[in-house]
Amino acid sequence: MSPRTSLSALALLLGLCAASPQEEIAATALPRAFIDGSGPGWRALTLADFVNVNGEADTWSEKDGSILCSGVPLGGARSREVLENFELVCEWRHHVEAGNSGIFLWCPEEAFTDLPPGQLPRSGIEVQVLDLAYETRYEEQHGKQPDWFTSHGDVFPVGASSMKPFPPAAPNGRRSFPTQRRSRGVGEWNHYYVRAVNGEVRLWVNGQEVSGGNECKPARGYLALESEGSLIEFRNLRLRELP
């Protein structure tokens, strides 16, 4: 597909393909324009576009165009506006081995209402942001690979939110596992493109579609960045709202 492919053409390809969700994921690469988040309608997101819900004053900061999160206390920073249909481009890197974080979509108001420090958003659709060493340490401790998470871009509902995951799914049926393992390790930048439209979420990791789900409820709410115990950096956050 040419980098000049329009948004409408990509949406048509993703929305009308007759193959199964897994076949769609395996076949769909990301055009350059969607990697850059360039073109009409895209806008940059900075820390000013987020509300520090339950962190300390220094939990979230901004430096040289990057949003930094110390990871302490556990919690989140949510968007100032409610979103429904949108695309998101983001680069992220962990600064600590086995670092944990996430990007939350469609969080309802009650996910953050009176949320005390040390608690994560109560609901939403989470796009996992996990360092590779988290999975490696689990294997070392338990003598087997984890069967309920991966470190390559799981997508799953949290709390009262719900989603029908695209295959392959976790044994409990809640998480969409990635079809490819494309994440890079601590200190290296990773690229996410997220498409959230009409209750369907699709995630591309470093240029290839790997996971997602549909029938998400609710399918309207806040975007949020997660603070989950370790230093993480986000940059080049760009958003485009869709009809």
Choose among 100, 43, 37, 104: nearest CA to 69.
100
Q: Is the CB of residue 91 less than 8 Å from the CB of residue 190?
A: yes
> What is the topology classification, in CATH, of domain 22-241?
Jelly Rolls (2.60.120)
DSSP classification of residue 176: B
Q: Which two tokens stand for residue 128?
A: 């996992």
Distance of CA 167 to the CA centre of its chain: 17
Q: pLDDT tens, 164-199?
A: 999 999 999 999 999 999 999 999 999 999 999 999
The pLDDT value given to residue 9: 38
Query: What's the pTM value of the predicted model, to 2 decimals?
Result: 0.89
CA angle (125 as vertex; 39, 18 as ends), nearest 5: 65
- Evaluate if residue 127 carries a pLDDT over 80: yes
Q: In the chain, where are the structural domains located?
A: 22-241
